[in-house]
């Protein structure tokens, strides 16, 4: 049996033409005609998808007038496998996010305002942002990050449970105790000046606290991402 260099498969609303690389471009039209001719009654009004080793878009454009003339096909397009479709989609999403905005992106953040007093406990399932101060003796717990736009004097426990990526940030970072996942850090002597610092777990799994403006662990990320 002669080797079939063009395979025809039914797909969706038409046919997928799998074109083997042994076919030269010159012979393409002839081979395609030969393959589709027995099915001419089915091909009429159908969409043809080209799946080849060559540039599918180019071939599609070349074949379209020929196939429309001979078989009255509806369209000739390059074939996109599911993976390719998804990859293209991701590519489009990334450019869309950076360019157009984040309407469909959401983060699970509990945003509260006010002073958290001694003996009070705030428990957020994911991230926690506080516009206010946290007094000594207060306890704040979050499944994700803790961001305090104020003074942190109390105890902050982030990354509950099993989240090593969480961070604890405060404009005036002077906690009595912090914890990220299961790593606990004890607060040092009370500093006189306030310093915006961020606490995170480094590559070795140790708690590291850096001056946020000098060096923050997110400054190396190339593009914005939802957290």
5 makes contact with other proteins (CB under 8 A): no
Q: Do β-strands 14-19 and 6-11 pair in parallel, antiparallel, or remain unpaired?
A: antiparallel
Residues 32-51 that bind other proteins (CB under 8 A): none
Min CB(135)–other proteins separation in Å:
5
Q: How many of the chain's residues bind other proteins (CB under 8 A)?
A: 10
Strands (E) across 54-182 are located at: 75-78, 109-113, 121-124, 127-131, 139-142, 146-152, 155-158, 168-173, 177-180
Min separation Cβ 127 and other proteins, Å: 24
**Using the rule CB under 8 A, is 194 a contact of other proteins?**
no
Q: Rule CB under 8 A: choose which of 45, 119, 205, 224 binds other proteins.
A: 119
CA nearest 15: which of 39, 57, 49, 40?
A: 49
CB of 194 to other proteins, least distance (A): 12
Residues 57-116 that bind other proteins (CB under 8 A): 115
CB 216 within 8 A of CB 199: no
Among 159, 110, 153, residue whose Cα is nearest residue 135: 153
Report in angstroms how near the CB of residue 118 gets to other proteins at its nearest.
4
List contacts with other proteins (CB under 8 A): 115, 117-120, 133, 135-137, 153
């Amino acid at each position: 049996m002669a080797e079939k260099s063009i395979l025809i498969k039914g797909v969706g609303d038409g046919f997928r033409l799998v074109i083997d690389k042994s076919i030269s471009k010159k012979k393409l039209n002839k081979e395609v005609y030969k393959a589709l001719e027995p099915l001419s009654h089915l091909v009429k009004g159908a969409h043809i998808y080209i799946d080849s080793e060559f540039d599918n878009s180019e071939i599609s454009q070349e074949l379209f007038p020929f196939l429309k003339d001979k078989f009255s096909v509806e369209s000739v397009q390059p074939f996109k496998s599911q993976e390719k479709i998804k990859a293209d989609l991701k590519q489009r999403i990334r450019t869309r996010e950076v360019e157009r905005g984040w309407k469909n992106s959401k983060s699970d953040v509990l945003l509260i305002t006010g002073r958290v007093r001694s003996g009070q406990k705030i428990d957020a399932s994911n991230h926690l942002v506080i516009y206010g101060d946290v007094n000594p003796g207060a306890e704040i717990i979050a499944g994700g990050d803790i961001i305090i736009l104020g003074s942190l004097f109390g105890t902050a426990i982030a990354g509950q449970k099993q989240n090593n990526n969480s961070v604890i940030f405060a404009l005036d970072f002077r906690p009595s105790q912090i914890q990220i996942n299961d790593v606990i850090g004890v607060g040092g002597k009370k500093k006189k000046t306030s310093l915006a610092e961020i606490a995170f777990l480094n590559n070795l799994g140790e708690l590291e606290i850096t001056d946020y403006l000098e060096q923050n662990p997110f400054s190396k990320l190339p593009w914005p991402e939802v957290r």
